[in-house]
Amino acid sequence: MAESEREQFLAEILANPSDMTPRLIFADWLEEQGDPRGEFIRIQLELSEASENYARREELDGRQDQLRRAHEAEWCASLKGKVTGYTFGGGFVESVEMTYDQALKYSEDLAKLIPLRRLIVSRGGRVNDRLFSLAILRTIEALRVEQMSVDPNLRGEPPKHPLANLQHLAVVQSHLTDDDVRTILKFSMPRLVYVDFSSNELRNSAAELIASHPIADQLQSLTLYDNQIRVAGAMALVNSPRFQSLQYLDLERNKLTEKTQEALYRRFGDKVRL
C-alpha cells in the first residue's frame, strides 16, 4: 500500500513539475514514513524562498549537504549513464545536462523519472529537427544548447508542436547564423521571456529580425554578447517600438561606435550592457 501511495505522489509531481504543493504533501508523507527524502524536499523548498534570516539559511544549507552526501547515489541511481550532469531543486533533480546522443536516446525517459524543468544539450551532433521534435520540449521551462553546430536542413522547418512552457532559451557557442535566428523565430513560444544567443556568428539582420518580431514584446532579457552586430543592427533595436517589457540587453563584444552606444543608452538606460 505504501509503495502504491508513493507512486501516486510521484505521478502528481511528475505531471506538474512547476507546482511545489504536491512536493510539500509528498514531503509530509515521507517524513511520516521515516524517509529522509522528506526533510530534503522541505529544506530545498524553504531555501528557494527569499529570506534575510541568514543564520537559518546557513543551517539549512549545511543540512541539505549532509542529506545529499548520504543519499544522492540512491536518489539518482536511475539517471546513471543517461545524463552528464544534474542539479537538484525543490528536493528533486530538475535540471540535467546531456550530450546530443543522450538527449535523443534518453530524454523521453526523464519525464517518467524526474520533474524535469531545464534541459542542457551540449557537445556532439547538430541541432536539427530530431532534437526539436523531442516531446520533452513541450513541457520544459528552459532549454540551453551549447557547443553544437546547426544543421542547415533545420532552417525553415520549425517544430510541428509549440514549445508551450518554454520561458528561457539559450543557444550559445554554436555558430548560430542570422538564418538560424529566422528559423527559431518561427517557433511557437508563447511564454518565452529570456533569450541568450551569446558567442555565435550573428550579424545585423539577426538583430533586425528580433527587433521587428512580435516575440520582442514579451522579452524581459536579450543577450547578444560576442557576435558580429554592428551599427545597423544595434539601431534597429534602438528604433524598435517593441521591447516594452525588456529589463536586460547585453551587446558587449559587438563592435559598436560611440555614437551608437550613446543611442542605446538613451533608449535602454541602465538596462543595456555594452
The pLDDT of 148-153, averaged and rounded, is 73
Residues 6+ apart with CB under 8 A from 114: 14, 79, 92, 93, 94, 96
Q: What's the predicted TM-score (pTM) here? A: 0.92
How many domains does the chain contain in total?
Answer: 2
Question: What cell numbers appear for 66 in the block?
Answer: 549532509
- At residue 155 the predicted structure's pLDDT band, cuts being 50, 70 and 90, is low
Give the CATH number for residue 150. 3.80.10.10
Q: What range does the domain containing 55 cover? A: 1-74
**Strand stretches in the chain, DSSP E:** 85-89, 92-98, 118-122, 126-127, 142-146, 149-150, 168-172, 194-196, 221-223, 248-250, 272-273
Domain boundary (74, 106, 128) is at 74
CA dist., res. 204 & res. 179, Å (int): 12
Q: Is the pLDDT of residue 240 over 90?
A: yes
On the question of pLDDT at 33 being above 90, the answer is yes
Together in a domain, 36 and 171 = no
Least confident interval from 38-47, 100-109, 198-207: 100-109
- Indicate whether 59 and 131 sit together in one domain: no
pLDDT at 183: 86
| Residue closest to 127 by CA, chosen among 188, 170, 83 | 170
**pLDDT value of residue 138:** 86
Are 52 and 158 in the same domain?
A: no
> Higher pLDDT residue, 207 or 187?
207
Of 74, 91, 117, which one is at a domain's C-terminal end? 74
The CB density around residue 161, as the number of other CB atoms within 10 Å, is 14
Predicted local distance difference test score (pLDDT) of residue 135 = 85
Of 104, 179, 167, 160, residue with least CA distance to 139: 167
CA-based angle 55:60:65, to the nearest 5?
130
Together in a domain, 147 and 58: no
**Residues 140, 60 share a domain:** no
> Do 52 and 93 belong together in one domain?
no
Whether residues 31 and 165 share a domain: the answer is no
- Residue 175 DSSP one-character state: -
Tell me: do 186 and 55 sit in the same domain: no
273 forms beta bridges with: 250
Statement to judge: residues 107 and 148 lie in one domain: yes
Longest dimension (CA), the chain: 71
Q: Which of 17, 39, 74 is the last residue of a domain?
A: 74
Q: How many residues does the chain have?
A: 274
Region of 123 please: left (phi>0), alpha (psi -120 to 50) or beta.
Answer: left
